[in-house]
Structure formats: structure tokens, C-alpha cells
């Protein structure tokens, strides 16, 4: 299912759960409709992208390795 919590741009490094509510994480998709906003795990949008290689900002290098792997994969 294409929802925010399995999108590569959903940043658990920058997340919140206000008043014990559901976790919301920052959307890092520069061209996405929710860029820079906190979104719920169940949210969706047309810019969803699989996180099969990891998140856009994963430790230990804040996503540098992962972003390079996604770029190489997209080039074919």
C-alpha cells in the first residue's frame, strides 16, 4: 500500500506525536504537496516513492548513501 510510512521521503528522524496521538513525520519530498509538513503514517500523495533501500535521511550518514543508491537505480 502506498502510504507515507513506507515512502522514502517520510522522515522518522523528524517526527512528533502530539498529546499521545498518532505519529506524524516530516515529508522531505521537495516537489511534494506536503514538503516540510508533518504527515500521518496513513497519508498518501502522488509523489510517493518506495523506501526499499531506506529512508531519504537514514543514519549513519543522514541518507547520503541511500540517496546515491536511489539515483544509481533510477539511471538504470
pLDDT digit string, tens, across residues 25-53: 999 999 999 999 999 999 999 999 999 99
Residue 62's SS3 state is coil
Radius of gyration over every alpha carbon of the chain, rounded to an integer in angstroms: 12
Decide if 38 contacts 2 (C-beta within 8 A).
no
pTM: 0.89
pLDDT band at 76 (very low <50, low <70, confident <90, very high): confident
Amino acid at each position: 500500500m502506498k502510504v507515507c510510512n513506507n515512502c522514502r521521503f517520510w522522515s522518522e528522524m523528524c517526527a512528533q506525536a502530539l498529546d499521545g496521538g498518532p505519529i506524524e513525520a516530516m515529508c522531505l519530498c521537495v516537489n511534494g504537496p506536503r514538503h516540510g509538513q508533518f504527515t500521518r503514517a496513513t497519508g498518501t500523495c502522488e509523489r510517493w516513492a518506495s523506501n526499499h533501500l531506506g529512508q531519504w535521511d537514514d543514519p549513519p550518514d543522514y541518507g547520503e548513501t541511500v540517496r546515491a543508491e536511489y539515483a544509481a537505480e533510477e539511471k538504470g
